Structure 1
C-alpha cells in the first residue's frame, strides 16, 4: 500500500480543485450574502451549474445557509491501494485531491467545514461540524444541498419514497418526471411518497452532449437517507432527507458530519460501472480479523413461497398467534408449509450434490400465521421452530453433507422486537452452526409512523450489522436502507435487497431492461441479493393461481451471475427446474463469486451491459451480457486474456428465435477455443443475453 499526503498550495487556487487526471474541476465560492456554492465541470463541459450549499436548523433563526465568511482553506492529495475482503477486484485504488473550506457564520460565530474530495471519476463532499461552544446539539430541519443540472437530461429514476425502493425504473427527460410520476408509483405493502418530482438515489442520467452523470451518497451513518427533489423549471435538484415520525430530519451532536454527497461523471458509461468512489468515501475496515467472512453460493426454500406454490405458515387454524401461549402441537398442518424437515433435506442433498455452500430456509419459526398487517410488536422470537421443522436434525444433516444452513430473520418491521431478541437470536445461530442471516423488514414500521429510511432506522440497520460482527455473522438485509459503501467498513454486510429484485417477477414481472439499469444505480453502493437463476418463466406451470411471467430469457438469467455482482449469489429456482436443464445449470455451478479483476466491455444504461471478470486466485474468466428491449449484436474481443495461452470458452447464448416473452427457454451452448486475439459477435434478443465460462486449455 502506498499513501501520500502533500499540500496542493500553489497548484490550485484556494477556491478551485482539480481531479488527479485533470479532467474534472470544481470551484467553491461564497455569494454576496455569504451562501456557499460550488460548480463542477468535466473536460470543460458543465456538469453542475452554480449550486447552493447549507442546512436549515429547527427552531433556530440562524440557519447554516448564509452569512458565512471563509476562515481557512486546506488542500491535499491522497493516494492509497487497499484490498477488499471480497469484491470485483482484489485491489482498489483510492486517489483524490481534497479541499476543506472552513466557514464562520458572522452573526453566531458558528463554524462549519465543507470538505470536497475530487476523484478522476467524480466529486464527493460533506458538511462537518467541529467541536465548538456555539453549536452542540442541533436538529436539521432541511438539508439545502443543490445539484443544478446543465440541461434537461435523460434520467433513469424511481419515485422518491421513505419506505421502499422496489420500483421499476422509468426512463424520461427530467422535465417529464412530474407527468410520469403517477404511473411510476406501483403498489407496495409499505410506501410513502413525498413529491411529484422527488426521486431516489442513485440517480443515473445522460446529457445531450454525451456525459453520464450519477448522483448518490456515501457512508450513510447516523443520518437519514437522502432523496432528490427537482425544481423542474430551473432543473435544480435539492436534497430531501427522510423524516422521522415527528417530521424531524436529523438529530446531531458536534463534533459530527453528514454523509458524503456524490457526483460521478464520465463520457464513457463503462467508467461509471467501474468506479469504486462510493467505497473509497467510506472508512477502512473496522473488523480486525475478517477471515470468517466468506462469499457464498446458495439455494433455498424461497421461490416456491414467493410464487404461491407453498407457504411460510404452518397451519390455517389460527387467525392470531401469541408466542408462548398458542398451542401449535394441537394445530392441523396446512400441507403447503415449505419449511418441513424432509423438504429442506431435499435441498440440502441437492446443494451437496452440486457444490453449493448453503441452504436458506424461510418460514421455519413460529409466528407466520399473523406476521403481517396487524401492527404487532411481539411477532417473532427467532429461536422457536414449527413442529414440522426439526432444527437439530436439519442442522446435523446439513453438517454431515458439508452444507451450511442460512438463517432467516423476518422482523415484519417490528424493529424494537428484533433488537429485543437480537443477542439471543445471534447466539442461537452460532450454537447451531449458522454463520449468515437473511433479515427482512417487510411492512410498516414499528414504532408506528417511523419510516424505513429515517435516521433512527438507519441507526438500527447499522446496529444489526455491528452486532452481527461481534458474533462473526454475515448479514443479507432485505427492505433495509439502500447501501452506500458501508460494506467497506463492515464487509460482513455481504448483501442487501433494497431494490426491485427477482421476487417481482412473481408479482407481475419487471421490465426486461431492469437489469441493465441496476448496476448503474442500486449497485453503486454495494452488492444486491438479486436472487437470479430462474429457468421456468411461466409460473403458472407449477403455481396455477399465479399467471406471472419472468421477463427474461434463460441465457439472460445465467449472465446475471456476472453482471449483477454479489459475493452472495442464489440459484433461486425450484430444484426440479434445474434438473430439466442440467447443461445450462452447469454455468451456475461453475461461475465464481469473488474476483481478481473486472473489465466492463460494453455498457449503455437501459440498453446493455457486458462484463468480463477473472476469478480470484485462478486463471478462469467469466463473461456476462444482459440486453434490454431492443435486439442487438454484442461485439467483444478477448484481449484481456494472457498472450500465448489457449482457452476453452463455453458460450451459453440466446437461440435466434429466443424472446423473453414468447420463447425464453431457447438457448444454445457452444464450446470454442479462444486466445487473446479472438473476437466474438453474438446476438442478444429482447430481454436476453449470454454467459461465457473461459478456462485455460491444457498445454
Structure 2
C-alpha cells in the first residue's frame, strides 16, 4: 500500500470516527432518533416521527466561562444502549399506574484538546424524547461555570406556536397564538406589566412551548427534573426557525455553577399527530426520580375554600390597618386603629369553616392572617414577615379548636414578598408553628423582585431554594402549593408533597382585567405539561363589580365552564374560589364542585385542539364514578363525545351541567341548565358549548 492510499484510508477512518451516526427507535418504532458528530466534532441530533421530520439536525453543547467550551472538538468514545419497561404508581395523579417504557442511548464524547468527557443520555419513548448532559467526575473538569447552554431544537419550518414572552421572573402573561415568524412583531404587546419581570429578548420564549407544524404534528418542548440548575427558556432564530436554549442568569450573570459529577435537567420533546396524546403523555414525570421519602401516607389531595377571592376583587384587604412605613419590631398592633376591611378575622374565618364543614370540604385557606401586610409590596425589604405572629383579630388557638371540631383543616399562607433569605431564616420556626396548630399544607408566595436583589425567580440559586423548601416541608410532613415560583418540571414525582403550583395567569387575573376566553383551552397543552396548577376555579359571580363597585373586570367564562375546569385543569389541590354567599344562590350547580374528585384512577382525553377546545373524562380514585369537563374558546361549538370508557354491562346516570341556550361568557355567563340522562358505554352525546363556555358531567353507576 503506498503512502497516498494509506493517508486516504486514515482520513476515511477519522471521518467515520467523528461523523458516524447512532440511531435508535422508540419501542413502537414510530420515533427515530439520530445522533451524530459533524466533521469539526460538533455533537448533533435529529428526530423523526412516522418518517416525518420533527427536529432537523440540531447542535448540542455548553459554552463555559473562562475556559474551552464544550461545543466542538469531540470524538465519540462510547455508546451504550439499554431498554427499560416498568410501571409505577403515583402518590396522587391522573391515572393509577404509569408505564415507563423507553429505549436509551448514552453517547460518551471526549474533547480531544482538553480530554474532558461529556455524556449525552437520550431516552426515546413512544410519545417523545428526553435527553440530558452528564459530566462524570474527572480531573480535567471539576468546577465550572456555564456561560450558556447551546442545545438546539431545529424545527421543520415556520410553525403555529402557543407562546409566552421569555422572562426570568414571571410566566404570568397571556398566551399568544401565532406563527413563529410573527413572534418578533407581537412581543412588545405580549409583554404586559407584572409585579416582577425581566424580559430578555425580542424573540425569547418560555417553556413548555406548544407547537403545531404545517403537516399536522403537535410538538411540545419543555424540561424535566430541574434540580441545581437554572430554568431554560428558548431563543428563536426566526429566519431559520431554530430554537436554542437560553438559561436564566444569576446575580453575577452566570447561568450555572457546577461541580462534577453533575448533570443537567432533561430536555423534553413530546410529539404526536394527535393533540390528545400530548395531554396524556407522562414523559416528563417518567424522567424524574421516585419519591425521596418512603412514608407518603400524610400526603392527601385537598379540596378547599378560602378567604382569598374577596381580597383579590378588592372587597376586603389583607392588611389589618392602613398605616404604612411599618417595622415589625417597632409597632404594637393592639394600639393601632384597624381599617375595618381586614378579611382574616376570627369571626369571618369561622363562617368559611362552617361552609366547608357543611359541604364536605377538606380545608380553609386564610391569607392576610399575619402581621406585616401594610408595608410589604415593592419595598425590597429583607425582613417583612415572621410567619408566626397573627394580627390581633386572628385567634390562632380558637380557630384551631373550632376547625377541628368541624372536621376541617386550616391551610397556611406564607407570602415571602420575594425576600428569600428572610423566609429561610424563619422556615423551621414557621413549620413548627404549623405542626403545633394543625396546619398540614402551605401556600407559599414570591411576589415582587427577589431579595437579595439581582437574583431572578428562575435562576439556579432560586431553583435550589424552592427545592430546599420542599425538602424542609417534608421533614415536617407539610404539603406545599408554590405561587410565583418556577413552572413545574415533574418534580412532584420526587417530592409528592408538591401538590400545587401557580406559575401562570390564574383566576386572579380575571379581577385584573381578565384572561382571554381561550386561556383554559391552552394551559393544559403548555403550563400543565410539567405538573398541576392551583388555578382556583369555581367563580359563579363573574362580574367583579358585584363585590367591588370600583372594579369593572369580569371573568371570561360561563358558569358552566367554571365547573368544567375542575376536570380539564388537573390538580390534586382544588379550590372553590368564590364566596359562600354566592354559592348559596346556586346550590344546584355547586353540587358538581362538591361531588367532583381531586384524585383519579384513569383519564381519557375525548376531544382536544389547543386554543380551541378540550374535553376530558376522569375516573375517581377507588370509585366507579366518572367526571367529564369540556372547555371551549370564544367561538363556541358543539361537542360530540362517546361514553365507551364506561364498563360493559353497567348502567349509569349522567348529570349534565351545561350552558343555557342563550349563554355567553360576556353577555349572559350565568345561564346554565342541569339535566339527567341514563347512559351506558354505548351512549353518545352532542352538547352545545356557548362562546367561552363548556359543560361538566358527573357519571354515577346505578347500583
- Give the TM-score range, shorter chain: over 0.9
2:565 paired with 1:563: no
Among 216, 228, 240, which residue is 2:222 paired with? 216
- Structure 2 CA distance for aligned equivalents of residues 556 and 538 of structure 1: 15
**Cα distance in 2 for residues equivalent to 1:510 and 1:319:** 32
Partner of 2:10: none
* Deviations 1:116-135, CA, capped at 9 Å, x for gaps: 00000000000000010100
Deviation of 1:228 (Å): 0.2
Cα deviation 1:235-288 (Å, max 9, x = unaligned): 100000000111100000000000000011000000000000000000011111
Q: Is 1:14–1:73's contact at 8 Å kept on the other side of the alignment?
A: no
Contact 2:539–2:577 under 8 Å retained in 1: yes
Q: Could you tell which deviates more after superposition, 410-419 or 624-633?
A: 624-633
What is the CA-CA distance between 1:325 and the residue it aligns to? 1.9
> Offset of 1:151 from its aligned partner?
1.4
In structure 2, distance between residues paired with 1:18 and 1:604 = 27
1:398 aligns with 2:421: no
Structure 1 residue 439 corresponds to structure 2 residue 444: yes
Matched, 1:35 2:39: no
Counterpart check, 1:24 vs 2:31: yes
Residue in 2 that maps onto 1:241: 247
Distance (Å, rounded) in 2 between the aligned partners of 1:326 and 1:244: 35
- Tell me the TM-score normalised to structure 1 length: 0.97
Select which of 432, 449, 452 maps to 2:457. Answer: 452
> How many matched pairs?
684
Whether the 8 Å contact between 1:559 and 1:690 is mirrored in structure 2 is: yes
Correspondence for 1:269: 275
Q: Distance in 1 between matches of 2:335 and 2:671?
A: 49
Post-superposition shift, 1:153? 0.4
Counterparts in 2 of 1:507-518, with a 5 A limit?
A: 507-518=512-523
Structure 1 residue 45 corresponds to structure 2 residue 52: yes
Match in the other structure for 2:338: 333
Displacement of 1:46 after TM fit? 0.3
Shift of 1:322: 1.4
The answer (yes or no) to whether the contact 1:635–1:682 under 8 Å persists in 2 is: yes
The residue correspondences of 1:134-213 to structure 2 (distance < 5 A) are 134-213=140-219
For 2:645 and 2:382, how far apart are their aligned partners in 1? 55
In the alignment, the residues of structure 2 paired with residue 374 and residue 188 of structure 1 have an alpha-carbon distance, to the nearest angstrom, of 15
- 1:424-435 counterparts in 2 under 5 A? 424-435=429-440
Tell me if 1:123 matches 2:129.
yes
**RMSD between superposed Cα atoms in Å:** 0.7
Tell whether 2:483 aligns with 1:478. Answer: yes
Q: Distance in 2 between matches of 1:580 and 1:157?
A: 38
Q: Deviations over 1:95-135 (max 9, x none)?
A: 00000000000000000000000000000000000010100
**1:338-357 paired onto structure 2 within 5 Å:** 338-357=343-362
Q: Deviation of residue 94 (structure 1)?
A: 0.4
Query: Where do 1:493-504 residues align within 5 Å?
Result: 493-504=498-509
Distance in 2, Cα, partners of 1:663 & 1:29: 58
| Distance in 2 (alpha carbons) for counterparts of 1:412 and 1:215 | 31
Match of 1:4 in 2: none
1:548 matched to 2:548? The reply is: no
Instruction: Give yes or no for the alignment of 1:651 onto 2:656.
Output: yes
Say if 2:21 and 2:36, in contact at 8 Å, map to a contact too: no
Residue by residue, what CA displacement relative to the aligned partner does 1:68-91 show, whole Å, maximum 9, x if unpaired?
A: 000000001001100000000010
Q: Which residue of 2 aligns with 1:576?
A: 581
Q: Tell me the SS of whatever aligns to 2:75.
A: strand
Paired residue for 2:469? 464
CA contact (8 A) 2:110 2:118 kept: yes
Q: Does 1:529 align with 2:546?
A: no
| Aligned pairs for 1:286-305 within 5 A | 286-305=292-311
Deviations 1:171-193 (A, max 9, x none): 00000000010111111010000
Question: Helix, strand or coil: the match of 1:517?
Answer: helix
> 2:13 maps to which residue?
none
Per-residue deviation, 1:324: 2.6
Give 1:370 deviation, angstroms: 0.2
Cα displacement (A) at 1:14? 6.5
Structure 2: distance between partners of 1:537 and 1:53: 48
CA distance in 1, matches of 2:167, 2:377: 21
- Alignment partner of 1:664 out of 663, 666, 669: 669
Q: Equivalent residue for 2:15?
A: none
Given the two structures, how large is their TM-score scaled by the length of structure 2? Answer: 0.97
SS in 2 for 1:695: strand
Which of the residues 589, 598, 603 maps onto 1:598?
A: 603
State yes or no: 1:281 paired with 2:293: no
| Conserved 8 A contact 1:118-1:124 | yes
On the 8 A contact 1:371/1:379 being kept in 2, the answer is: yes
What corresponds to 1:589 in structure 2?
A: 594
- 1:684 matched to 2:689? The reply is yes
Separation (CA, whole Å) in 2 of partners of 1:668 and 1:315:
44
> Which residue number in structure 2 is paired with residue 257 of structure 1?
263
Q: Quick check: 1:59 aligned with 2:70?
A: no
The answer to whether residue 683 in structure 2 is matched with residue 693 in structure 1 is no
Distance 2:275 2:378 in 1: 42
1:365 and 2:370 matched: yes
- Once the two structures are TM-superposed, the CA of residue 362 in structure 1 deviates from its matched residue by 0.2
How far 1:327 moved relative to its partner?
Answer: 1.2
C-alpha distance in 2, partners of 1:478/1:454?
A: 16
In the TM superposition, residue 516 of structure 1 has moved relative to its aligned partner by: 0.5
Q: Which runs of 5+ in 2 are unaligned?
A: 1-19
Q: Does 1:73 align with 2:83?
A: no
Gaps of 5+ in 1: 1-12
In structure 2, what is the Cα distance between the partners aligned to 1:335 and 1:218? 47
Equivalents in 2 of 1:217, 1:542: separation in Å? 41
CA contact 2:21–2:37 (8 Å) conserved in 1: no
**What does the per-residue CA deviation read over 1:270-324, in whole Å, with 9 as the maximum and x for residues that have no partner?**
00000000000000111111000000000000000011000000011x2122123
Instruction: Provide the secondary structure at the position in 2 that maps to 1:282.
Output: coil
Query: Cα 1:385–1:442, aligned 2, differ >3 Å: closer, same or farther?
Result: same
